[in-house]
Amino acid sequence: MGGWFRKEIGSVDDLRGLKFRIGGMGGQILARLGVEPQQMPPNEVLAALERGALDAAEFVGPFDDEKLGFHRVAKHYYCPGWWEGGAMLHLLVKLDKWLDLPKSYQSFLLQAGEATTNWMLARYDVENPAALRRLESAGVIVKAFPTPVIEACWKAARQHYAELSANNASFRKALESHNAFQTNALSYWRIAEHPYDSMMLRLLDS
């Protein structure tokens, strides 16, 4: 999700000067549009929203966000969280230690990592819809970012990536690989996945 906002976001102008609890590259990109990214541990965010030290905050999604109580102060819940299209778990192991492991142990760790990620994603698929319904029942206003805001963010992101690529060969290599896969995958998703999802949403709502 795109986060909790004390006030409605109607245009790109509404982003300027916005004190937004958001980390990483998403914050760097939004800063290009006038947002003031704030770094803050989750347990301090609600109090900061209450006293006006923050205008907005993003964390994960409905299931986790509900527990932190952001909805008690910031009623506008925006989507999508375009800077983080999905959750991902990581396990970092020093290369020399990894190479010292027997092949069977390496296999166990790889399988455990895959199983844990699949469990995590499946759990969110179950828990998030129910949490979102509870939040809406509590008066939360769920809406998509306006199209001009999304387009401005897309443009700012591409500029940011281009600058990073010009100065970082590793980033450039990763981005090129990502973009090639994304283009290839979307060519199929627009034929199969998107029409199927749209059909199911239409038929289930009718």
* Exposure letters 153-190 (e unless 16+ CB within 10 A, then b): beebbeebbeebbeeeeeeeeeeeeeeeeeeeeeeeee
pLDDT-based confidence at residue 87 (cuts at 50, 70, 90) = confident
Q: Encode pLDDT of 30-68 as tens digits.
A: 999 999 999 999 899 999 999 999 999 999 999 999 999
Q: Is the pLDDT of residue 170 over 90?
A: yes
- Cβ neighbours of residue 185 under 8 Å, at least 6 residues apart? none
Task: Summarize the confidence of residues 6-26 as an average pLDDT.
Answer: 95
* pLDDT above 70: percentage of residues in the chain: 100
Q: Record the tokens describing residue 182, joined without a space.
A: 């994304």
Q: Encode pLDDT of 96-139 as tens digits.
A: 999 999 999 999 999 999 999 999 999 999 999 999 999 999 99
- Per-residue pLDDT, 164: 97
- Per-residue pLDDT, 23: 86
Q: CA Rg, the chain, in Å?
A: 20
**Which helix (H) or strand (E) element contains residue 4?**
strand 3-5
- Cβ atoms of 42 and 59 within 8 Å: the answer is yes
Report the alpha-carbon distance of residue 129 to residue 122 in Å, rounded: 12
